[in-house]
Chains A and B, each alone.
Chain A
Amino acid sequence: MKEIPEHLSRMPDNTAVKQQKLPAHEVRFSAKFVLCIFFGTGAFCLCVGVILILSAKRAKKIEINYTTICANCAELRENPFNFNRECRCSIPFYLPEILEGNVHMYYKLYGFYQNLYRYIKSRSNTQLVGENIKDVKDCTPFTVSRDGTPIAPCGAIANSMFNDTIMLSYKLNSSVQVRVPMLKKGLTWWTDKYVKFQNPSLNDLPSKFAGSTKPPNWPKPVYELDKNNPDNNGFLNDDFIVWMRTAAFPTFKKLYRRLYRIHYFAQGLPAGNYTFHISYNFPVTRFGGEKSVVLSIPTWCGGGGFFLGVAYTVTGALTWMASFALMAFHLAWEKKKVTPKE
């Protein structure tokens, strides 16, 4: 029979793809292969787990919850009308052994939901990047003040910025107290400081912020956050930037200060008596929360807890157990398979 041209046109070229004969390796796990992998993985996980646990153990941490210690201040802040009454609180503590290394000071809030939908989206990134100071449309419910002036920085996040001041002093001897030198810069991600947050212009901040007003909760406008240090003022203020990175959980830490390692503190924080001097401004009891201050030294893998180490160890252990179980299962099955044949 003659072929109709139509057939010629759809004559396939016989490639391996079209004939479904692609070279491939079929993954047929043999018992040996799976068991090897399982034992290998288990061993690896166990090792890493142990290392992590050990290094997490080395990390030192001091946390002092000052909600109850400064109960009178907390009570004062219960009433929003007391907002301009100052309240100070001192918390002495004893450091039994030296905290060696780069000591970081954090504040930690309990029960503060920075991850609420309406909270997270209440910010204006175009404003923060310094492009348009009056762009406040995303900032509900803190867009404009009562007289209609746009707020800078606008939004719930900025408005609720943590405004306690925490100072650490070291008792050199019974009479002399020195202030522990702390750095208030270098607390932020590089991109935050250099990309995400920009002042309208570095010079003459107040005029650049003209036409805007401070957030209602703030005692002073944004260009007075750190008057002495133009690199740390306005939107570029490190404390502000740190706060603006909204935490994932209702309980969170935020980096507050870094130890400036000079003089007595070149090695870290020596053992001895210390006092936290806290200017208590941030109300937490109103929403049923608490706050504390944390001193910590991050290790090579950060300063996190034991979880990852435990996870590795447990996974490793489970993998081993599973491989033993599989082996037993396999052997039993083999036996069962063999016996009826004979």
Chain B
Amino acid sequence: MGWQRYRQGLEVSNHRTIYINDHLKNNFCPNWIRTAKYSKWSFLPRYLYLQFSKAANAFFLFISILQQIPDVSPTGKYTTLLPLMIILTVSGIKEIIEDYKRHMADRLVNKKTVLALESGKCKVNALADEAFLIDDAFYLCPLLALPETAGVQTEKQLLSISGKIECEGPNCHFSCFTGTLYITDRSPVPIGPDQVLLRGTQLRNTQWIIGIVIYTGFETKFMQNAVKSPLKRPKVEKVTNVQIHALFLLLLVMSLVSFVGALFWRRAHSADMWYLKRREEKSHAFGFDILVFIILYHNLIPVSLLVTLEIVKFIQAQFINWDEDMHYKENGVYAVARTSNLNEELGQVKYLFSDKTGTLTCNRMTFKKCSIAGIPYSQSSSRELNDPTLLANIKNGHPTEEYIKEFFILLCVCNTVLPERDGNNIIYQASSPDEAALVKGAKNLGFVFTMRTPYTVTIQAMGEEYTFEILNILEFSSNRKRMSIIVRTPTGQLRLYCKGADTVIYERLSKDSLFMEETLTHLKLFATEGLRTLCVAYADLSEEQYQHWLMDYKSASIVLQNRIQRLEECYDTIEKTTHHMIYQNCQDLGNMLGKENDLALIIDGETLKYAMGIGIKTDFLNLALSCRAVLCCRLSPLQKAEIVDMVKKNVRAITLAIGDGANDVGMIQRAHVGVGISGNEGMQATNNSDYAIAQFSYLEKLLLVHGTWNYFRVTKCILYCFYKNVVLYIIGLWFTFVNGFSGQVLFDNWCISLYNVIFTSLPPFTLGIFEQCCSQKDLLKYPQLYTISQKGKTFNARVFWIECLNALAHSFILFWFPTKMLEHDMVLQHGFTTDYLFLGNFIYTYVVVTVCLKAGLETMFWTKFSHLAIWGSIIIWFVCFTIYSHFWPTIPIAPEMAGQARMILICPYFWLGFFVVPATCLIKDIVWKSIRNTQKGSLPLNSQQLESSKAKGFEFSSVFEKR
């Protein structure tokens, strides 16, 4: 993998220097990317390596190799190799299709044209130091927007610039960048993340831009971020893996038992076995004989399970993608299952961690109420603030008129909103919705923010136009929880406007600030109504104060390391002088949580820090777990992840985290299942999630319907795959008891190896894809049904081994019934006698029928596909059987099978057994099931509602069925 090498290689270099207009000196990695896993040549080795690093596949490869040893394999040389090849081919085709898509996407990106300026010529699709980019173009690599100080006008001038950029080496942090531009004969200019255009960004509202390439290809931040999120393995898979290992042990035990049996048998038959001429009695070593039995029984481990599950889950994921109920019509976004291996985990979620703003609530903000200079203004009827007293106060010269005006001017000036003219209308492009809400609110009241240039802001206040010169913007960050702006007002005054969370603002207010008391009361009042609150404040600055600070700021801003920290310290010094405050708030329009709270715990980030301390962590966890809901406010992204981690580690339950922003990425990755809201706040959460949905409310369908269905489907499919293998291959064990533990197989070799690939391959798919344990309506109506899959009672070690025991019982019946039937050797009408394969084909047919009917018994929801799979499989077997027994000697395989179908299909005994043997097996199942179901009728969850909704009587509904 080239890009990994790049990544590792470049992690080392912390700095990079880029020489402008001197590209020979620059050392870029090629500007192409590859997200595809394989290339044409590396496909086979890499794919095989990946496949055989899975234990099950390695095991089957091992068996295939063993079979090549002459005289060891009782089942022929290629009978394991062939199904293995088929299975690897199927999953290889799936890989190729997926990788082809990636190749196409890569090609699309790599072929994108850019304008590049190099030695005076415009070159297309080449990498150059500087590049012209047209409006709305995508950038192939992060570009550095040359600060205007460079002051270039013509192409020639552009080419004559010389200088260098020093910046940090390639890294994966999207939101930070530090560098310094040195242009000859000019003072160094700091470059921050604001000036960097990342790969994949789109330029808007800009006619042209000149940039310098900083990172290319795999070094771009985008690619550096394209690390595969940690592989999450679902619980069901873990249980299955343990069982596979247990089965492997069982296989060894069976082999050992057979081997010991063989020893005893030989001792008992130590008499002269002249017909066998046992010449090399001792030639086969101990290990050699064991190998025979391992090969004989190896199919106990279902070879097709992995690929079956892969395909089943892939299709389940498609169902999620296709779901129209999870299609957000407004922006045409569908739910996306970004991984398919967690499908069944969706049905087992016990703890749900949700980000609030933007996720639980839909992040649509409106300016609702405000309190200016101690007077609250509100409007109850309309959705937006439109208080007549407020307007009256402005116009009629109320004592607080100045403050009111200052308040709205602040709202218009202190923001990073971009006004975009669309005819007469102004559209505000804001990175956060509350800013937009505030600016819009101000506009409604006559304070219109009309234009922004890099150094000025123009507003229209009550019809008059004012232009503010922007000196510095102290940006918002989630740590600072505030933003400030230093402006020169039209009257020439230096002023700092500050806007942020109430706590941080209050900390920074000077002691003689006005209206502190009143505002605090109103603040509390608004907060209890469930409104989101913000405080704003301003401070007048003196010229010396500002100059002094500016020097500090400049020195801090060109430092490469720790710039952010230094800057923040620096910001802090000036904001502390704030001493006037007004207060306003916004409302969250979302649907608030809180339906069934018996007890809810509310804790904020500061407190949580202590609660997560070593001593009281467990106490806190217990307390939190005892509550119906726990609200954690004002957490840092790390804390979010920590909480998820704590629950995940200490409580053995499946966790789901849902969020929409970059601050949720940690918890999304940490939780068992991560869900991202694909919507407004960028793609960070979505890109790191396992499932992306457009609306929080879609989670209901995703969990209750898809989760439950997928859980039942996957578990049924797994159990069934094990069941069918155990049924057929344990028969080999029974047969050893009558054939002197010699390792002879009862069936034709190819019948054995095609069992999983053809004859019983369809029912697991219909079970895994189309099965529905309950209707969608019921699942949504009775969320209690979710608890069944949530508790995972339909699939655990106990259920698994009960199923295996059941399979054992079936195989017992399936072997001994036909054996007893044929014991007399006189079953054919003309007195013809039969052979071992005759018995084998009897049994094999009964096995196929029983196993298919068992799938039918498991199927609750019979679609046309179920019919096709179940009856089809039986018919396929009969057709194949008939054709197969006509092969020899035209096609030189299966001489023993010649004529079998002909004799078996006319044998009345066969048809008599055809009914009674599967019936005996399955009647037992039905009885067992119905008794268990009847008992389970006392489950609390289904007591009354469900009974009324469904037919009375003992339900065979698999919902209650715990096997």
- State the CA gap A130–B568 with chains docked (Å): 95
Q: Count of chain A residues with Cβ under 8 Å from any Cβ of B? A: 100
Contact A283 to B931, CB < 8 A, known contacts A18-B319, A302-B829, A307-B821 = no
B331 touches A3 (CB 8 A): yes
The answer to whether A159 and B271 touch (CB under 8 A), given A28-B951, A189-B903, is: no
Q: How large is the interface on B (under 10, 10 to 19, 20 to 34, 35 or more residues)?
A: 35 or more
Number of A-B contacts (CB under 8 A): 290
Complex Cα–Cα for A27 and B835 (A): 41
Partner of B276, one of A116, A245, A318: A116
Partner of B912 from the list A117, A131, A249, A308 (CB cut-off 8 Å) is A308
Q: How far is the CA of A188 from the CA of B54 in the complex (A)?
A: 50
| B832 and A120 within 8 A (CB) | no
Chain B residue contacts of A307, Cβ below 8 A: 820-821, 823
CB closest chain-B residue, reference A161: B275
A136 at the interface (CB under 8 A from B): no
Question: In the complex, what distance in Å separates the CA atom of A308 from the CA atom of B821?
Answer: 6
Question: Quick check: is B817 within 8 A (CB to CB) of the other chain?
Answer: yes
Chain B 511-531: CB-based contact to A (< 8 A → 1; otherwise 0): 000000000000000000000
Interchain CA distance A116-B739 in the complex, whole Å: 6
**For A156, what are the chain B residues with a Cβ–Cβ distance below 8 Å?**
275-277
Q: Which B-chain residue is minimally distant from A303 (CB atoms)?
A: B826
On whether the beta carbons of B862 and A25 are closer than 8 Å, the reply is yes
Among the stretches B166-174, B210-218, B321-329, the one at the interface with A is B321-329
What chain B residues lie within 8 Å of A113 (beta carbons)? 269, 273, 739-740, 742
B313 to chain A, nearest CB (A): 15
Confirm or deny: A273 has a beta carbon within 8 angstroms of a beta carbon on chain B. no
The chain A residue with its CB closest to the CB of B275 is: A160
Selecting from A166-174, A200-208, A251-259, the interface stretch reads A251-259
Q: Which residues of B contact A188 (CB under 8 A)?
A: 832
- Closest-CB distance, B67 to chain A (whole angstroms): 14
Q: Is A92 an interface residue (CB 8 A)?
A: no
Do B835 and A246 touch (CB < 8 A)? yes
Within 8 A of B (CB), among A109-151: 112-120, 125-126, 129, 131, 141-142
Among B443-451, B558-566, B954-962, which stretch is in contact with chain A? B954-962
B838 CB → nearest A CB, Å: 7
**Interface residue A312 (Cβ < 8 Å from any Cβ of B):** yes
Contact A31 B821 (CB under 8 A): no
Across-interface contacts of B930 in A (CB, < 8 A): 29, 34, 326, 329
CA distance A246 to B96 in the complex (A): 47
Given that A7-B333, A196-B898 are known contacts, is A245 also in contact with B738, CB under 8 Å in the complex? no
Contacts of A240 in B (CB 8 A): none
A123 to chain B, nearest CB (A): 9
Which of A14, A19, A298 contacts B829 (CB under 8 A)? A298
Query: Does B916 lie within 8 Å of A311, measured CB to CB?
Result: yes
**Would A129 and B275 be within 8 Å (CB), given that A113-B739, A303-B824 are in contact?**
no
- Determine if A322 and B923 form an interchain contact, defined as CB atoms under 8 angstroms apart: yes
**In the complex, are the beta carbons of A191 and B912 less than 8 A apart?**
no
Question: B153 to nearest A CB, angstroms?
Answer: 36
The answer to the question of A58 belonging to the interface, with a C-beta cut-off of 8 Å to chain B, is no
Whether the Cβ atoms of B919 and A45 lie closer than 8 Å is: yes
Contact status A7-B332, CB under 8 Å: yes
Please give, as numbers and ranges, the residues of chain A lying within 8 Å of B709 by CB-CB distance. Answer: 20
Choice from B826, B835, B840 contacting A247 with Cβ under 8 Å:
B835
| B739 and A253 form a contact (CB under 8 A) | no
Q: Which residue of B lies closest to A49 (CB)?
A: B916
B826 and A304: CB pair below 8 A? yes
**Cα separation A150 to B821 with both chains bound (whole Å):** 40
Q: Is the CB of B826 within 8 A of A315?
A: no
* B886, chain A: closest CB distance, angstroms: 9
| Cβ–Cβ contact A186 & B956, under 8 A | no
A236 within 8 Å of B (CB atoms): no
Contact A302/B828 with A12-B322, A32-B953 known, Cβ cut-off 8 Å: yes
Q: Pick from B859, B923, B957: contact of A315, CB below 8 A.
A: B923
Q: Which residues of B contact A30 (CB under 8 A)?
A: 951-953
Residue A52 CB within 8 A of the other chain: yes
- The answer on a CB contact under 8 Å between B937 and A301 is no
CB-based contact A248/B899 at 8 Å: no
Q: State the Cβ distance, A64 to closest chain B Cβ, in Å.
A: 16
Residues in B895-916 with C-beta less than 8 Å from chain A:
895-896, 898-899, 902-903, 907-909, 912-913, 916
Among candidates B770, B861, B909, B955, residue contacting A302 with C-beta atoms closer than 8 Å? B909
**Please, what's the 1-or-0 string for B801-826, where 1 marks a CB less than 8 Å from any CB in chain A?**
00000000000000001011111111
Contact of B770 with A22 in the complex, beta carbons under 8 Å: yes
Question: Which residue of chain A lies nearest to B776 when distances are taken between CB atoms in the complex?
Answer: A20
CA distance A226 to B484 in the complex (A): 114
Q: A19-B323, A31-B954 are in contact. Are A26 and B862 (CB under 8 A)?
A: yes
Say yes or no: B334 contacts A10, CB within 8 Å.
Answer: yes
Smallest Cβ distance from A17 to chain B, in angstroms?
9
Does B238 sit within 8 A of A, measured CB to CB?
no
CB 8 Å contact bits of A224-254 with B (1 = contact, 0 = none): 0000000000000000001001111111111
A106-B833 CB under 8 A given contacts A18-B319, A24-B861:
yes
A residues 311-342 touching B (CB-CB < 8 Å): 311-312, 315, 318-319, 322, 325-326, 329-330, 333, 337
Flag whether A286 is at the interface (Cβ < 8 A): yes
| B279 in the interface (beta carbon within 8 A) | yes
Chain B residue, CB-CB nearest to A120: B744
Within 8 A of A (CB), among B914-963: 916, 919-920, 923, 926-927, 930-931, 934, 937, 947, 950-957
What are the residues of chain A within 8 A of B743 when measuring CB–CB? 117
B782: interface (CB < 8 Å) = no
Asked whether B902 lies within 8 Å of A190 as measured between CB atoms, the reply is yes
Asked if A248 contacts B831 (CB within 8 A), the reply is no
Q: Does A96 contact B (CB under 8 A)?
A: no
Contacting pair B916 A45 (CB below 8 A): yes
Point out the residues of chain A lying under 8 angstroms from B775, CB to CB.
26
Contact present for A296 and B276 (CB under 8 Å): no
Shortest C-beta distance, B683 to chain A (Å), equals 13
A286 in contact with B916 (CB, 8 Å): no
Whether a CB of chain B sits under 8 angstroms from the CB of A275 is no
Q: Return the contact of A301 from the options B324, B866, B908 (Cβ within 8 A).
A: B908
Asked whether, in the complex, the Cβ of B957 is within 8 Å of the Cβ of A28, the reply is yes
Q: Check B860 for interface membership: any CB of A closer than 8 A.
A: yes
A142 to B279, CA, bound (A): 11
Q: Which residues of B contact A333 (CB under 8 A)?
A: 934, 937, 954
- Closest Cβ–Cβ distance, residue A191 to chain B (whole Å): 3
A67 within 8 A of B: no
Asked whether B790 is an interface residue with its Cβ less than 8 Å from the other chain, the reply is no
List residues of chain A with CB within 8 A of the CB of B920.
311, 315
Chain A residue contacts of B926, Cβ below 8 A: 29, 34, 38
The residue that A159 contacts in the complex, of B275, B824, B912, with Cβ under 8 A, is: B275
User: Taking A117-B744, A250-B740 as contacts, is the C-beta distance between A245 and B863 under 8 angstroms?
Assistant: no
From the candidates B861, B899, B947, name the one contacting A189 in the complex (CB within 8 A). B899
Subset of 25 A-B contacts with CB under 8 Å: A1-B330, A18-B319, A18-B322, A19-B323, A26-B772, A26-B775, A26-B862, A34-B930, A113-B739, A141-B279, A187-B832, A191-B902, A195-B889, A195-B898, A248-B839, A251-B823, A255-B831, A286-B272, A288-B269, A302-B907, A304-B823, A307-B820, A311-B920, A322-B927, A329-B930
Known contacts A7-B332, A142-B277, A156-B275; can you find 4 more A-B pairs with CB under 8 A? A18-B318, A18-B319, A31-B953, A117-B742
Which residues of chain A have a CB within 8 Å of any CB of chain B? Answer: 1, 3-4, 7-8, 10-12, 14, 18-20, 22-32, 34, 38, 41, 45, 48, 52, 80, 102, 104, 106, 112-120, 125-126, 129, 131, 141-142, 156, 159-160, 186-192, 195-196, 217, 242, 245-255, 258, 283, 286-288, 296, 298, 300-305, 307-308, 311-312, 315, 318-319, 322, 325-326, 329-330, 333, 337
Q: B interface vs A, CB < 8 Å?
A: 74, 269, 271-277, 279, 292, 318-319, 321-324, 330-334, 709, 738-740, 742-744, 746, 770, 772, 775-776, 817, 819-836, 838-840, 859-866, 888-889, 892, 895-896, 898-899, 902-903, 907-909, 912-913, 916, 919-920, 923, 926-927, 930-931, 934, 937, 947, 950-957
